[in-house]
């Protein structure tokens, strides 16, 4: 019986773990309201000849690499005054039901093909992860929760508070909504308040101590609005967006005293190579917005990084910088499964407890009760493979996998009633690094986060798990789930039995909360770092040692802003776009 429950919990938890991804549908872009979005193969061939000085018939004032959370608002803003080329390696998110509707959130990682909207990767720590590969970036595959950064964070990074307070509302007016709070989320709120995570701050975007309801990018009908919708604010005469445009590297003129970015080399959906160039103006720039994984990878592929690592991969060294790819961090998350005796309404993250001990508490519910989600086969990242990861390799036979798939399909969906309390560590001290595995940009790099390497991170996880178990044992939860009060050991054993990562398990060691944290660590997809200020970029995010190259995304952060970073990363795109325009045109830029 215990084994059956463990298997059921594993399936439920695994399906939840991969809810931040989606499959990409192919469409003709003329169907949509953005005429400036085109396939990469439409790029004019006249730009395909290299010029060390840039320029040419199809030169641009700005080339933004990466049409994601920061890249879309950045490109839209810059296009108000200058010509912009936005290059996105994925396709469009529009008309993709798994991206667009919250009810399909739990099955969005079913597609692990090369055309999927998400690209899975496994860190060397053994933690399963995903990165976006679609116009709109992580806003297309995340849980939709919207909350601003703290005032401390804004001050720490040196941003102009007035400009920040103009940039957040620009995003919010277009794609952010107030959620209809689910009953499960109210129970989470009440139990947090009973535990002293107070006061209750109601509905707010602000990052303040206590318990609150946050915003969402899902509207009242459960439809997702993404950063791609922010392109509606662009000047369509000055913006060109190419999808399925996989940038291979940045091109440099190295004839002067400092390398100067002049263009990019990219591949279209048919595998043909193209080159796009900047105009001759010294104020023109290439801006990398490829995300915390993609941007350091792109710098390395372009010849900027540790000399020995570049030479090992036979990459021509443009600039030696030993800090590229270093200081990679991810906010470790652990989750407690809460079983129900009745169906529960699906809900993504709506409630958050912001504690003073450096732990955030969130929750989700009801995403394992769909017949489609339970019976879905997830390919190499499937529940079948996860379950078998605890067996020696020689025992992972095709017959064993097929037998597990059959058992999975026979499980009634009623067995998956329940939800999760999620505990995330704020500002982890533990960091790691990113290194190239190959020179193919489509291959994931090797990423190490070193979860819980620092004892302070581990202690905060222990504190958070203790809080989560008390929540499960509270009267609020028992009344809602209609389940009897459970012991701490039973709660932890149910969760530790779920194979949510590839870390070796200690299923009978619930006496050690430290071991539980290590065994059950997962990601909440809030990785950052690799291109830190003062080491890879300056305070304006211009890459040190080269001209006309800048970075605008979370790779420059040494902490993830707020409880969820998407609000601040989108705001950052708008903010930096305005700042670049003001620096170039003066405060009277009029945008």
Q: Find the helix or strand (DSSP H, E) in which 352 lies.
A: strand 351-354
257-291 per-position pLDDT tens digit: 999 999 999 999 999 999 999 999 999 999 999 99
What are the catalytic residues? 526
Interval 13-24 mean pLDDT = 36
Going by the annotation, the residues of the binding site are: 88-89, 134, 247, 525-526, 554, 565-566
Q: Which residues contact 36 (CB under 8 A, 6 or more apart)?
A: 231, 234, 236, 239, 240, 241
Rounded to an integer, the average pLDDT of 354-374 is 75
Report d(CA 296, CA 288) in Å as an integer: 9
Confidence of residue 392 (pLDDT cuts 50, 70, 90): very low
Which residues contribute to the annotated binding site for FAD? 88-89, 134, 247, 525-526, 554, 565-566
C-alpha span between 266 and 282 (Å, rounded): 22
Q: What is the pLDDT of residues 498-547, one digit of tens each?
A: 556 666 666 555 458 898 899 888 888 899 999 999 999 999 999 999 99
Dump pLDDT digits (tens) for 310-344.
Answer: 999 999 999 999 999 999 999 999 988 787 777 77
Kindly tell me if the per-residue pLDDT of 9 is higher than 50: no
DSSP codes, 438-488 = -S-TTSPPEEE--TT-SHHHHHHHHHHHHHHHHHHTSHHHHHHH------H
Q: Are 138 and 525 in contact (CB under 8 A)?
A: yes
Q: What is the pLDDT of residues 448-487, one digit of tens each?
A: 999 999 999 999 999 999 999 999 888 888 887 777 777 7
Q: Which domains does the chain have, with CATH numbers?
A: 32-46+57-179+222-328+527-585 (3.50.50.60)
């Amino acid at each position: 019986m215990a084994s059956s429950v463990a298997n059921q919990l594993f399936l439920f938890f695994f399906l939840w773990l991969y809810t931040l991804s989606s499959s990409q549908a192919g469409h003709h872009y003329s169907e949509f309201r953005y005429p400036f979005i085109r396939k990469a193969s439409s790029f004019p061939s006249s730009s395909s000849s290299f010029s060390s000085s840039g320029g040419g018939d199809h030169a641009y004032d700005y080339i933004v690499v990466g049409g994601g959370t920061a890249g879309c608002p950045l490109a839209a803003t810059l296009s108000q005054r200058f010509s912009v080329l936005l290059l996105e390696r994925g396709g469009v998110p529009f008309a993709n039901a798994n991206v667009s509707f919250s009810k399909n959130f739990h099955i969005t990682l079913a597609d692990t093909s090369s055309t999927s909207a998400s690209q899975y990767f496994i860190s060397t720590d053994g933690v399963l992860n995903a990165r976006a590969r679609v116009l709109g970036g992580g806003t297309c595959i995340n849980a939709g929760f919207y909350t601003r950064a703290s005032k401390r964070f804004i001050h720490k990074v040196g941003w102009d508070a007035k400009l920040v307070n103009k940039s957040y509302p620009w995003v919010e007016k277009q794609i952010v909504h107030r959620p209809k709070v689910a009953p499960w989320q109210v129970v989470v709120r009440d139990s947090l308040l009973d535990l002293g995570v107070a006061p209750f701050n109601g509905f707010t975007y602000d990052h303040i101590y206590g318990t609150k309801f946050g915003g969402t990018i899902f509207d009242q009908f459960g439809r997702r609005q993404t950063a791609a919708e922010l392109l509606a604010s662009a000047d369509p005469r000055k913006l060109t967006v190419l999808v399925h445009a996989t940038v291979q590297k940045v091109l440099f003129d190295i004839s002067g005293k400092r390398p100067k970015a002049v263009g990019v080399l990219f591949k279209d959906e048919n595998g043909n190579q193209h080159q796009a160039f900047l105009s001759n103006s010294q104020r023109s720039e290439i801006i990398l917005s490829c995300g915390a994984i993609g941007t350091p990878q792109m710098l390395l592929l372009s010849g900027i990084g540790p000399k020995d690592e570049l030479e090992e991969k036979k990459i021509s060294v443009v600039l030696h910088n030993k800090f590229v790819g270093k200081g990679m961090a991810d906010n470790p998350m652990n989750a407690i499964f809460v079983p129900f005796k009745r169906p529960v309404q699906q809900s993504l993250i709506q409630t958050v407890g912001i504690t003073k001990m450096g732990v955030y508490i969130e929750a989700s519910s009801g995403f394992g009760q769909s017949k489609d989600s339970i019976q879905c086969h997830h390919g190499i990242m499937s529940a079948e493979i996860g379950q078998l990861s605890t067996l020696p390799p020689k025992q992972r036979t095709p017959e064993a996998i097929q037998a597990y798939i059959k058992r999975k399909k026979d499980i009634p969906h009623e067995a998956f009633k329940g939800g999760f309390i999620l505990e995330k560590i704020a500002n982890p001290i533990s960091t790691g690094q990113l290194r190239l595995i190959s020179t193919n940009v489509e291959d994931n790099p090797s990423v190490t986060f070193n979860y819980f390497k620092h004892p302070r991170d581990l202690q905060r996880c222990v504190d958070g798990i203790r809080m989560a178990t008390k929540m499960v044992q509270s009267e609020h939860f028992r009344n809602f789930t209609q389940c009897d009060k459970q012991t701490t050991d039973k709660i932890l054993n149910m969760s530790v039995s779920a194979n949510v990562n590839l870390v070796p398990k200690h299923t009978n060691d619930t006496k050690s909360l430290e071991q539980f944290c290590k065994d059950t660590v997962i990601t909440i997809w809030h990785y950052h770092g690799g291109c830190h200020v003062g080491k890879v970029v300056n305070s304006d995010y211009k890459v040190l040692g080269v001209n006309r190259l800048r970075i605008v995304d979370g790779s420059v952060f040494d902490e993830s802003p707020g409880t969820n970073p998407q609000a601040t990363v989108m705001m950052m795109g708008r903010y930096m776009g305005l700042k670049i325009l003001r620096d170039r045109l003066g405060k009277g830029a009029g945008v």
